[in-house]
Amino acid sequence: MKSPFRWFLSFLVAAAFLVFPSPIMAQEVGATCAVYFTGVGCGHCAQTDPVVLGRLLDKFPKLVIIEYEIYQQPENAPLLSEYNEVYGSGLGIPLLVFNANDALAGDRTVLGSVASCLERLEGNPCPLVDGSSQRFGELDFSTLPGRPKIWAGERVLIRRPSAAGEVGNELLQELLVGEDFISTLRGLAPGEVVPQPVALSGSSREFDHAASFAGWLFQWDGASLGEVLAETDPRYELPDIITQPEESCPDLTLTKVLSLAAVDAVNPCALAVLTLLLFTVLAYNSGEKRRVLWAGLAFSASVLVMYLIYGLVIIRFFQLVQALASVRLWLYKILGLVAMVLGALNVKDFFAYKPGGLGTEMPMSLRPKVQRLISRATGPRAAAVAGALVTLFLLPCTIGPYVICGGILSRLALIKTVPWLLLYNAIFVLPMLAITVVCYVGLTTVEKVAGWKDRNIKYLHLLAGLLIFGLGLAMLFGWV
């Protein structure tokens, strides 16, 4: 039987554990962790992002959200399928995963059930892609796949691409949930940078301050690192903040848009329609150059406006299917394959040209209708009307590159696609404007332009084919 002294000592040890628990154990019990899949541009995610990545973090101070955005960060997209294989969570977004029994898919389910789940699953460990789970206090940040953003309260850690070195897990956890995180941040000796808005679907989250260190960008609200150091040490001078450019979407590059627009611009189909229009105007007005100029400009402007409208419709279509994440995961590669097919068809026309080729020229059955329509365009107003109507007949031979461009642009908010579409269509109508101007100033004639087009039509197809095939190949293998 134990002596009274041993009983008393055991009682003191037990009381010490109860009254003074270790920081790590308190963190393990308190932190509630979940994985959240979303996509910038997803309409359903626009309903849940402000709640999951905003109001819930304010309401539940111990909540930690590991976010994987799959539209602007394509390296995150395969993780949605991997989580589905392990947790049976489905391929739709938004998706909030707590464990195999608690995976909330869809905006209505997330909004209706997340609060009760958080109250019931207090202290939930982080569900990992291999099916295991780890308490947040034990989480190895270096093993998290993809490009996660880790949210807690008014703070977020964002993994940086291609960054050398890693910071220890305890330091990262202290930054996210620790009370004296500024001291931790000071020990890391980071470079303070301009905070970047974190994109959410339909909005963005602004932070007061940001710091960059090996492998991570840390952003937070409240006092800045420099302000705290200046308060504790009057001799400390606030450093100049380093300007850090905002990362651009990897799949949205100027090169792609310009390449696709150039392919459309050299399309023989569109050039043939314009020369036919100028022939009609010249014949009716007995060579009045001024009317030729205004008719060509009106026709080109009408085509630009109509194609801008078509582009917005195409982009909106892609945005509507973005909620079907299983489709969206493969969309970029599918667009690359379509581009390669269109390129191959154009190259085929160089070796075995046949008027009205599938996907490369206006079908022969539509050409008489276009000729009748243009034959009535005897002035600028009629040319504008003809341009608007003719675009419907031009679509079969010009829509391919435009659809690919629309798929790329669909990850942006609809209003933000307008400048890109204007750029695309300005390049598309540039040859029309050039032909109009050179005919007006007398550098050439409509007859010579038509003859040049007929003599070089195979080379135009070859140029267009090589451009779009190369772009499609680069998209398929992730080179651009």
Residue 348: inside a domain, yes or no? yes
pLDDT of residue 96: 95
Alpha carbon distance 311, 421 (integer Å) = 7
Please compute the mean of the pLDDT values over residues 5-24 and round it to a whole number.
Answer: 49
CB 120 within 8 A of CB 99: no
| pLDDT higher than threshold 50 for residue 75 | yes
Torsion of Cα atoms, 166 then 170 then 171 then 173, to 10°: 100
Q: Are residues 90 and 199 in the same domain?
A: yes
Q: Do 146 and 273 lie in a common domain?
A: no
Q: Which domain holds residue 266?
A: 254-476
Q: Let me know if residue 192 belongs to a domain.
A: yes
Question: What are 373's two structure tokens?
Answer: 């329509």
Give residue 4's pLDDT: 54
In a domain, 286, yes or no: yes
Peptide bond into 148 cis (omega under 30): no
Q: For residue 98, count other CB atoms closer than 10 A to its CB.
A: 23
Highest mean pLDDT among 185-189, 195-199, 327-331: 195-199
Sign of CA dihedral 382, 384, 389, 394: positive
Evaluate if pTM is beyond 0.85. no
Total structural domains within the chain: 2
Tell me how far apart the terminal alpha carbons of the chain are, to the nearest angstrom: 76
- For the stretch 368-380, pLDDT in tens is 776 776 676 667 8
Mean pLDDT of 51-76: 90
The gap from C-alpha 188 to its chain's centroid, in whole angstroms, comes to: 32
157 and 258 both lie in a single domain: no
**Confidence grade of residue 478 (pLDDT, cut at 50, 70, 90):** low
3-class state of residue 22 by DSSP = coil
Mean pLDDT of 62-84: 89
Same-domain status, 206 and 267: no
Q: Does residue 203 belong to any structural domain of this protein?
A: yes
- Report the alpha-carbon distance of residue 287 to residue 318 in Å, rounded: 46
For residue 6, being part of any structural domain is answered with no
Contact 117, 63 (CB under 8 A): no
Q: Starting at the edge strand that comes first in sequence, how are the strands of the sheet with 95-99 ordered?
A: 102-105, 95-99, 32-38, 63-69, 149-152, 155-159, 216-220, 209-213, 191-193
Q: Which of 92-96, 343-347, 354-358 has the lowest average pLDDT? A: 354-358
* Pairwise CA distance, residues 439 & 436, whole Å: 5
Task: Indicate which CATH number applies to the domain containing 53.
Answer: 3.40.30.10
Range among 28-42, 185-199, 442-456 rated most confident: 28-42
Judge whether 105 and 117 are in contact, CB under 8 Å.
no
289-320 and 268-285 are packed helices; what angle lies between their axes, rounded to 10 degrees? 150
- Which tens digits make up the pLDDT trace of 216-239? 888 888 777 665 555 444 444 444
Domain identity same for 224 and 266? no
The amino acid present at 264, given as its one-letter code, is D
3-state secondary structure of 167: coil
Report helix, strand or coil for 139: coil
- pLDDT value at 244 more than 50: no
State the pLDDT confidence band at 69, using cuts at 50, 70 and 90: very high
Whether residue 458 lies inside any domain: the answer is: yes
Q: pLDDT tens digits for 389-433?
A: 777 777 766 777 888 888 888 777 778 889 999 999 999 888 888
Q: Are 134 and 260 contained in the same domain?
A: no
CA distance 91 to 113: 19
Q: Both 212 and 274 in a single domain?
A: no
Q: Please tell me the number of Cα atoms within 13 Å of 199 on its side-chain side.
A: 19
In a domain, 4, yes or no: no
Residue 96 and residue 226 in one domain: yes
Residues 388 and 462 in one domain: yes
What residue has token string 């007859």? 447
More confident residue, 128 or 263: 128
Percentage of the residues of the chain whose pLDDT score is greater than 90: 19
| Average pLDDT for the chain | 76
- Residue 453 in contact with residue 268, Cβ under 8 Å? yes
Higher confidence at residue 4 or residue 36?
Answer: 36
Query: Do 259 and 212 share a structural domain?
Result: no
Domain match, 164 and 293 both: no
Same domain, 216 and 258: no
Measured between alpha carbons, how far is 408 from 256 in angstroms, rounded to an integer?
9
Q: With respect to residue 160, please indicate whether it lies within any of the assigned structural domains.
A: yes
Q: Which of 201, 232, 263 is the last residue of a domain?
A: 232
The answer to whether residues 427 and 300 touch, using CB atoms and an 8 Å cutoff, is: no
Characterize 290-301 residue by residue with b for buried, 16 or more Cβ atoms within 10 angstroms of its Cβ, and e for exposed.
Answer: ebbbbbbbbbbb
Q: Residue 358: its pLDDT value, please?
A: 61
pLDDT for residue 101 is more than 60: yes
Q: Which range has the worst mean pLDDT, 12-16, 88-92, 187-191, 349-353?
A: 12-16
